[in-house]
């Protein structure tokens, strides 16, 4: 299993705790019930693609027989040359599909938000206006509607698309791996608003959107509902 899971410096990981040194968040947040902990345990327990993620992929024949060839926890992707920090994807997975290669970006959540609204994040300075313009252009979103979107969804999706280009993959998927109870689905309405702006409206969890063509890469998005790890994790 370890050959499938690599940290930012290329070291093989053999257990969930090996992810901790690569966390961009405070390592004190590594605890049961929080997204970093739950994500790592779900992937290692599955020894590959967690079942909820596999279920979402299986809704599209193109990805139904996908096999995992590599998964990078806390993957850093430089989005531009403005000097701003890279986007840090919770899991960046490389999939083998019948037509070649696909890249899967995972944004994991329990009850966290997808960052600030764009209108609150952007202060009008060049240091934020230029990167935001790049994200909007890359996703081909109407700039007039971007203010009501959650900023993290933009840059995490762009990171997945850029990683697909780097891997010479024509297909990219950005999935939210949610550990929020289905009765709550924290953040789902904000995800839906992003999907509409992306021209890939999605009405339900557990499925993939229609594809969006983005300069040589076809992008799908979706929401996978996952259970929290067992009470006792060994």
Number of domains in the chain: 1
Residue 42 lies inside a defined structural domain of this protein: yes
102/170 Cα distance (integer angstroms):
7
Residue 24 lies inside a defined structural domain of this protein: yes
> pLDDT-based confidence at 24, cuts 50/70/90?
low
Q: What per-residue confidence (pLDDT) applies to 105?
A: 98
Residue 233 lies inside a defined structural domain of this protein: no
Q: What per-residue confidence (pLDDT) applies to 1?
A: 42
- Quick: pLDDT tens for 145-187: 999 999 999 999 999 999 999 999 999 999 999 999 999 999 9
Residue 207 is encoded by which pair of tokens?
A: 């499925």
Q: What per-residue confidence (pLDDT) applies to 80?
A: 77
CB neighbour list of residue 181: distance below 8 Å, 6 or more residues apart: none
Residue 231 lies inside a defined structural domain of this protein: no
Residue 76 lies inside a defined structural domain of this protein: yes
Residue 186 lies inside a defined structural domain of this protein: yes
Query: Domain span at residue 92?
Result: 2-225
More confident residue, 233 or 97: 97
146/221 Cα distance (integer angstroms):
18
Q: What per-residue confidence (pLDDT) applies to 159?
A: 97
Q: What per-residue confidence (pLDDT) applies to 48?
A: 83
Residue 22 lies inside a defined structural domain of this protein: yes
pLDDT score of 224 more than 50: yes
Tell which residue, 163, 160, 184, has the closest CA to residue 174. 160
- Quick: pLDDT tens for 60-113: 999 999 999 999 998 999 997 655 678 999 999 999 999 999 999 999 999 999
Place of tokens 């405070």: 26
Q: Percentage of the chain with pLDDT > 90? A: 77
57/207 Cα distance (integer angstroms):
8
Residue 232 lies inside a defined structural domain of this protein: no
**229-193-60 Cα angle (round to 5):** 60
């Amino acid at each position: 299993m370890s050959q499938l899971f690599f940290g930012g410096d290329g070291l093989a990981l053999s257990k969930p705790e090996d992810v901790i040194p690569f966390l961009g968040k405070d390592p004190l947040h590594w605890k049961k019930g929080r997204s970093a902990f739950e994500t790592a345990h779900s992937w290692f327990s599955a020894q590959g693609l967690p079942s909820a993620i596999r279920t979402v992929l299986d809704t599209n024949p193109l990805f139904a027989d996908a096999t995992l060839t590599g998964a990078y926890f806390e993957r850093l992707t430089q989005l531009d040359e403005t000097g701003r920090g890279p986007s840090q994807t919770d899991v960046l997975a490389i999939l083998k599909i019948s037509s070649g290669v696909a890249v899967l970006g995972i944004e994991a959540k329990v009850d966290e938000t997808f960052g600030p609204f764009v209108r609150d994040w952007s202060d009008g300075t060049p240091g934020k206006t230029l990167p935001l313009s790049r994200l909007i252009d890359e996703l081909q979103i109407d700039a007039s509607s971007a203010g009501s979107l959650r900023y993290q969804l933009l840059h995490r999706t762009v990171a997945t698309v850029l990683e697909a280009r780097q891997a010479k993959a024509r297909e990219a998927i950005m999935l939210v791996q949610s550990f929020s109870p289905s009765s709550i689905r924290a953040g789902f309405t904000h995800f839906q608003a992003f999907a509409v702006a992306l021209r890939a409206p999605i009405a339900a969890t557990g499925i993939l959107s229609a594809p969006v063509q983005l300069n040589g890469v076809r992008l799908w998005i979706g929401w996978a509902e996952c259970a929290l790890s067992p009470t006792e994790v060994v």
